[in-house]
């Protein structure tokens, strides 16, 4: 083959390879999104009980109630609302997500509810773990939608202990809102309702000593 012919064949080969690469890129772009999809609805938790405006809680840091961020499983570490399909499988609610990490939302809700119901100094976060008096921690086991029962479930294993005291108290709290459609517009308010019920029950437990 002459040099011009070889050059032409080489050029065609490079063009063919480039066209194949371009086609592959287009196909990949059609299947994969490299930018996170923003959900249509962002869910937050709003406390039913809040301390009134202008209210002041005074006291020593060493006497404060400290609410810690609960531990949880991986499905609640994401900013998506888990949907339990069956005991072994979990999906996520379409078109909805949490505005913040669910465990932090629940901690803030619980702290505000305890603050409103006890009129005591209530603080959030591990920064106060060595300074407070009463500590509320635990594990957030469920805060999502159950497809088998069409219900929203919030389940929290609370642990309470006192600084300098090795004795722990553990209690499970649970709220279920039945008959909820698997839609963001219905699941969001139901999650807020269930979380507030659990928070109120925990606050009563803490107040009762």
55 in the same domain as 152:
yes
Alpha helices, DSSP H, located in 87-183: 102-118
52 in the same domain as 2:
no
152 in the same domain as 84:
yes
Domain range for residue 64? 41-207
141 in the same domain as 51:
yes
83 in the same domain as 175:
yes
Instruction: Give me the tens of pLDDT residue by residue for the chain, a chain 209 residues long.
Output: 554 444 334 344 444 444 444 443 433 333 332 335 678 899 999 999 887 776 666 778 888 999 999 999 999 999 999 999 999 999 999 999 999 999 999 999 999 999 998 878 899 976 666 678 899 999 999 999 999 999 999 999 999 999 888 899 999 999 999 999 999 999 999 999 999 999 999 999 999 87
203 in the same domain as 148:
yes
CATH code at position 90: 3.40.50.10610
pTM over 0.85: no
92 in the same domain as 25:
no
183 in the same domain as 81:
yes
129 in the same domain as 189:
yes
Return d(Cα 144, Cα 155) in angstroms, integer. Answer: 9
49 in the same domain as 18:
no
162 in the same domain as 90:
yes
Number of domains in the chain: 2
Torsion angle, CA of 195/200/205/207, rounded to 10 degrees? 140
113 in the same domain as 87:
yes
**End-to-end CA gap in the chain:** 95
- How many degrees, rounded to 5, is the angle at CA 208 between CA 167 and CA 141? 65
């Amino acid at each position: 083959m002459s040099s011009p012919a070889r050059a032409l064949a080489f050029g065609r080969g490079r063009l063919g390879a480039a066209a194949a690469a371009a086609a592959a890129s287009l196909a990949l772009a059609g299947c994969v999104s490299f930018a996170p999809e923003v959900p249509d609805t962002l869910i937050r938790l709003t406390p039913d009980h809040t301390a009134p405006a202008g209210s002041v809680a005074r006291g020593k840091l060493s006497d404060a109630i400290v609410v810690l961020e609960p531990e949880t499983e991986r499905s609640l570490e994401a900013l998506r609302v888990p949907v339990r399909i069956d005991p072994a499988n979990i999906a996520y609610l379409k078109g909805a997500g949490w505005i913040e990490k669910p465990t932090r939302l629940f901690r803030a809700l619980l702290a505000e509810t305890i603050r409103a119901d006890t009129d005591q100094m209530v603080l959030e976060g591990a920064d106060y773990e060595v300074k407070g008096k009463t500590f509320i921690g635990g594990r957030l086991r469920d805060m999502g939608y159950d497809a088998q029962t069409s219900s929203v479930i919030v389940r929290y294993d609370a642990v309470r202990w006192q600084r300098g005291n090795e004795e722990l108290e553990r209690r499970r709290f649970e709220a279920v809102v039945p008959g909820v459609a698997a839609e963001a517009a219905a699941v969001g308010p139901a999650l807020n309702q269930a979380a507030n019920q659990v928070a109120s029950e925990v606050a009563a437990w803490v107040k009762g000593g």
